[in-house]
Chain A
Amino acid sequence: MNLGETLIASTKEVFDTMVMMETTPEALPEGQAGSISASVTGTLGLAGDLRGILNLHFPDEVARDITASLLGMEIEELDDDVKDAIGEITNMVAGGIKTALAREGMDLELSIPTTVAGKSYQVNCFSGANRVIIPIAVPKGTFWAELKFMLNS
């Protein structure tokens, strides 16, 4: 199975049905896999047949626009509403990946979402993990969906 495709499909489904926002996956600019500038990251641990972590990285304006669309209200600043919404979106995308993997006979268990926010931070996994990262365009900009994982044999 292609985990990149699964990640794109799960993200699209959440944005289509819950956020009501069109998403367009983009090609990753060459040599820029390491440089993401995000103000909010939803992160969630994955365990079971696949051990890893799902990260959704959003610039400030994109995160606020997504929260406004999800909650149906104006969002002026990166407040607790935004952090809760990003955590919940991360949880739903992870749920979609769990469902997709179950169809392939793989068991995936989810931990709880955590939201990291700040002006300057990085989120890394330990250096031996595999990585899939996909830029996804929305009306206010681009966010990044990232899976870091190892397959348990």
Chain B
Amino acid sequence: MSLTKQIIDATTDIFTTMVMMEVTPGEPITGRVNPFHASISGMVGMAGSHKGMLAIHIPEPVAMAITSNFLGLEVDAINEDVQDAIGELANMLGGNVKSFLTETGSDIKLSLPSTIFGQEYTFQCQDEVETIVVPFTSSDGKFLVELRLQSEA
């Protein structure tokens, strides 16, 4: 199974079972997806036998809808609840990809998740890193899931 398929399955699964939201994957994107406008990005670093990072980039209204569904509370701003929810989503996606990359998952460790948000920002890694970006559509709008993986030494 390919990494792209794994990202699609992991995202669909986490949204269906944890966020209680149906999402539909689109065609993987090649090339730049920056900059992001009025958005929030959740990211988690992967270290150990594989080095990389997983990020989810979500426009503000979609992020608020996801948080409302996920935590079962109303949110009307990018507050601490939204930041924690989107960070936790990145963490869960990272955990899933980690288990896929190694047999036991124990050779890869995750960093703490972090969030970036603002009216306009770009997000970039070094060029020599493998990149997979998959867009998803929910009833509240679109978002992107991005995996960056350094080739094994």
Spell out A's residues near B (CB within 8 Å). Answer: 41, 43-48, 51-53, 55, 80, 83-84, 87-88, 109-127, 129, 148-150
Asked if B2 is at the interface of the complex by the 8 Å CB criterion, the answer is no
Give the residue of B47, B113, B150 whose beta carbon is less than 8 angstroms from that of A126.
B113
Give the residue of B43, B51, B129 whose beta carbon is less than 8 angstroms from that of A110.
B51
12 more A-B residue pairs beyond the given contacts A46-B47, A46-B111, A111-B52, with a C-beta to C-beta distance below 8 A = A43-B43, A45-B45, A46-B45, A47-B48, A47-B111, A110-B45, A114-B123, A114-B124, A115-B124, A119-B120, A125-B112, A126-B112
Asked if B117 is at the interface of the complex by the 8 Å CB criterion, the answer is yes
Given A51-B110, A126-B83: A114 and B125 interface contact (C-beta under 8 Å):
yes
Asked if B13 is at the interface of the complex by the 8 Å CB criterion, the answer is no
Spell out B's residues near A (CB within 8 Å). Answer: 35, 43-48, 51-53, 55, 80, 83-84, 87-88, 109-126, 129, 148, 150
Question: Do B114 and A148 have beta carbons less than 8 Å apart?
Answer: yes
Bound CA–CA A139/B45 (angstroms): 32
Question: Least Cβ distance of A41 to chain B in Å?
Answer: 8
Question: Do B46 and A111 have beta carbons less than 8 Å apart?
Answer: yes
Residues in chain B near residue A148, CB distance under 8 A = 112, 114
Question: Do A121 and B126 have beta carbons less than 8 Å apart?
Answer: no
Sample 12 A-B pairs with CB under 8 A, ordered by A number: A43-B43, A45-B112, A45-B114, A46-B47, A47-B111, A87-B124, A111-B45, A114-B55, A114-B123, A119-B120, A124-B83, A148-B114
Give the residue of B48, B114, B120, B148 whose beta carbon is less than 8 angstroms from that of A125.
B114
Given A52-B112, A118-B35: A45 and B46 interface contact (C-beta under 8 Å):
yes
Minimum CB distance partner of B107 in chain A = A109
Minimum CB distance partner of A148 in chain B = B112
Bound CA–CA A125/B42 (angstroms): 9
